[in-house]
Structure 1
Amino acid sequence: MSVLPPRWRLPYLALLTVIGLLLSASALEAYQLSGGTRPWEPFLWEFSSVLVIGALALGVHALVGRLRGRPWPQQLAAHALALPVFSGLHITGMFGLRLLVYGWVGVDYRPDDVPTLLIFEGGKDAVSYISFCLISRGVWMARAAESARRELAEVRLARLADQVQPHFLFNTLNLISSVMYEDVARADRLLCQLADLLRQTLAAQQRVEHSVREELALVQPFLALMQARFGPERLVVQIEADNAALDCRLPALLLLAPVENAVKHDVARHRGRVIVVVAATRDGERLRLRVSNHGDTPVPEAPPDPDGGLGLRNLRERLEARYGGAARVNFGPDGSGMSLNVDLPCAS
């Protein structure tokens, strides 16, 4: 049973049991019509065959897997050698079980002579072996297709995640450059904070996904950096997360670009104070994330990007690649500011 993953072992045994019962019920009717007096015999005959065949089918599946990718002549030669071994093991195991049970209950059992058994059972075994090979090949091809799909999704996620880093770095350096000639010491502190943040984000990118707790641990120092840039009286930060949401997992650096956009674009559009809120809540098996900003006296000639810019497009593509249609994104005006709401499955 080692060929089967653990989660498939019980279903496989259940399948063999159902097949054995169906065959036994059919054989029992014919047995009784022929005058048989021991109703357990058809069950022994059928289950001895089904159990041995079930074990051998796993070996056939493993053999087909090992032969994948080899030239067809090699595969055919291997199967030509394996078929008589399959039939021999089936006949030996099946009649060995029968003789063991008959001897245990004290009933005489005389199977047909060996040449008759080889001809009768060998023909059926050939059909069974070919059927198992075809089924197994289909299973291996399905596994290969699923593996390729997962690898493609992982490559796409990695590519999208890589887009976050240069985009975030470019915008942050632009923010820092505005104070470079006004206050050199302050700019130096900001660059040191940025270097620490970049080290954390590079480490996060290697993990592909992490918990909400780890994501907020990246968002917080970025917002602290931006507060140092704009001043705490101009940029007010609120991070709200319930304990149930902190262990949910999400793609790494998912919130960094939306938070950066909320600061970079929206603080510039307001003359007064701006409040940026990052919230995470859990509702059953769903994780709800919100990034919103509200400010005083927006500048009318600088309307927000209705699509959310590159950061939001990247976020949508990453969620689509990771969750398909199970994730939802809503972005739009919210009072005196903008709000981004993300609803996705919570995987702990």
Structure 2
Amino acid sequence: MQEISATRRGTVIYLLVWLFLGCALGGVVSLASETPLANAMLFAIPMNLWYAFAAGYSAYYLCRAYPLGTRGAAPTAMVLALAAIVLGFLWLIIGNVWNSVCLLLGVGWSGIVITPQLSVLIVVLGVLLYGFAVALHYLVIEFVRAKNAEQRELESLLMAQEAELRMLRTQIDPHFLFNSLNSISALTSQDPKSARRMTLELASFFRQSLGMEAHKKVTLGEEMVLIRHFLAIEQVRFGERLLVEEEIGEGAAECLVPPMIIQPLVENAVKHGICNMPEGGTIRIIARRAGSMLHIGVANPVDEDMASIRSEGHGIGLTNVRQRLSGAYKHEAGIQWGRHENSFGVDITMPAQTSEEGD
């Protein structure tokens, strides 16, 4: 009963059904006892609305106490049948009391003659209507249970997805940290000043990344601040061999992206591109908004052998980004990569959102 009356709409529908049944009962009473229709309706409709609540609450608590498939079909059927018979006779008693009140009014359109045949009919109808109430409550209870189970499953999937995304994000920090510490170790004896500057940049990088960790998404502008810290660290290592070009289109910097979604791509560009080329090269980072979509590209020169390895999609960076995009945007986002002449490029496409709910 609580599930049905939980909303105003459910209550109205429930009462309208029983009102319709009351009108039908009034018609049956009128035909069975040759009573004027007005008298039959005055007798049947109020009595039926009372029975709607009496049968409704009784059926609700019994359906709760005897869920389907838990106590056996026979005990459940016996309890429900006994309750239906008791409510049927109780309905007859209430009907007689209500009819007595109507007869006391002393007007021609109130009161009926309750014959033995009509009494039996009222009890039988009471049993049948109680069965209707039981079936209705079982249906509603099972529907609510299935809905709650689906909601719990969805919540579990969301929690698992968030845990997976956190795991994927935490994979980035150790991967980058190990490379940076190795570089600082190498610079300590050769260039202590550069090693100190690299240490400070590394501290700034992780301070920025920790600030972003609490957010599911950050603006592309904030992501680019992190990228610049990263590239400043790498430029200490490579000096003039590493050049950077940025092209952030209008409206792109305000779009939201998963934190550290570009950093693995830039790190791969350094590791698989600049690191393997004695003459170095230029890393190009491009971002533009096209309607409801945001396009981000990272391109760098590559050695021929390393280009073939990356073209097969090996490496933690590309795999991480692909999984995080799939977890955050499903089929709405995608990533593509490939080699064009002596350049390797990675292109990301995702919804252009400026709020957590999306545009």
Q: Is the 8 A contact 1:242 1:280 kept in 2?
A: no
In structure 2, relative to structure 1, the CA distance for the partners of 1:234 and 1:287 (3 Å cut) is closer
Shift of 1:262: 0.7
Q: Is the 8 A contact 2:265 2:318 kept in 1?
A: yes
2:259 corresponds to which letter in structure 1?
A: A
Shift of 1:225: 2.3
Percent identity over paired residues: 24
CA distance in 1, matches of 2:110, 2:287: 74
Q: Which residue of 2 aligns with 1:281?
A: 288
| Root-mean-square deviation (Å) | 5.2
In structure 2, relative to structure 1, the CA distance for the partners of 1:251 and 1:236 (3 Å cut) is closer
Q: Which residue of 2 aligns with 1:265?
A: 272
Aligned residue-pair number: 309
Q: Does 1:207 align with 2:215?
A: yes
CA distance in 1, matches of 2:53, 2:352: 44
Q: Is the 8 A contact 1:271 1:299 kept in 2?
A: no
| Pairing 1:183-194 to 2, within 5 Å after superposition | 183-194=191-202
> For 1:190-245, what per-residue CA distance to the aligned partner results, in whole angstroms no more than 9, with x for missing partners?
01110121122233233343332322221121122223332356422324243255
CA distance in 1, matches of 2:10, 2:131: 27
Q: Which residue of 1 aligns with 2:115?
A: none
2:258 corresponds to which letter in structure 1?
A: P
Q: Give the SS at the match of 1:243.
A: coil
CA distance in 2, matches of 1:154, 1:230: 36
In structure 2, relative to structure 1, the CA distance for the partners of 1:126 and 1:226 (3 Å cut) is same
In structure 2, relative to structure 1, the CA distance for the partners of 1:14 and 1:132 (3 Å cut) is closer
Q: Extract structure 1 runs of 4+ deviating beyond 6 A.
A: 14-19, 34-37, 107-110
Normalised by the length of structure 2, the TM-score is 0.65
Shift of 1:329: 1.1
Q: Give the SS at the match of 1:181.
A: helix
Q: Is the 8 A contact 1:288 1:343 kept in 2?
A: yes
Normalised by the length of structure 1, the TM-score is 0.66
Shift of 1:139: 1.0
Q: Which residue of the other structure, out of 321, 325, 340, is the alignment partner of 1:334?
A: 340
CA distance in 2, matches of 1:17, 1:211: 48
In structure 2, relative to structure 1, the CA distance for the partners of 1:318 and 1:120 (3 Å cut) is same
CA distance in 1, matches of 2:10, 2:3: 16
In structure 2, relative to structure 1, the CA distance for the partners of 1:173 and 1:16 (3 Å cut) is farther
Q: Which residue of 1 aligns with 2:96?
A: none
Q: Which residue of 2 aligns with 1:323?
A: 329
CA distance in 1, matches of 2:145, 2:270: 55
> For 1:226-279, what per-residue CA distance to the aligned partner results, in whole angstroms no more than 9, with x for missing partners?
23332356422324243255232x322111111111122211233335221222
CA distance in 2, matches of 1:14, 1:245: 48
Q: Which residue of 1 aligns with 2:204?
A: 196
CA distance in 2, matches of 1:15, 1:130: 17
Q: Give the SS at the match of 2:173.
A: helix
CA distance in 1, matches of 2:110, 2:278: 101
Larger radius of gyration: 2
1:212 corresponds to which letter in structure 2?
A: L
Q: Which residue of 1 aligns with 2:162?
A: 154
Q: Which residue of the other structure, out of 103, 120, 132, is the alignment partner of 1:124?
A: 132
CA distance in 2, matches of 1:290, 1:160: 21
Shift of 1:119: 4.5
Q: Is the 8 A contact 2:198 2:236 kept in 1?
A: yes
Q: Which residue of the other structure, out of 127, 134, 142, is the alignment partner of 1:134?
A: 142
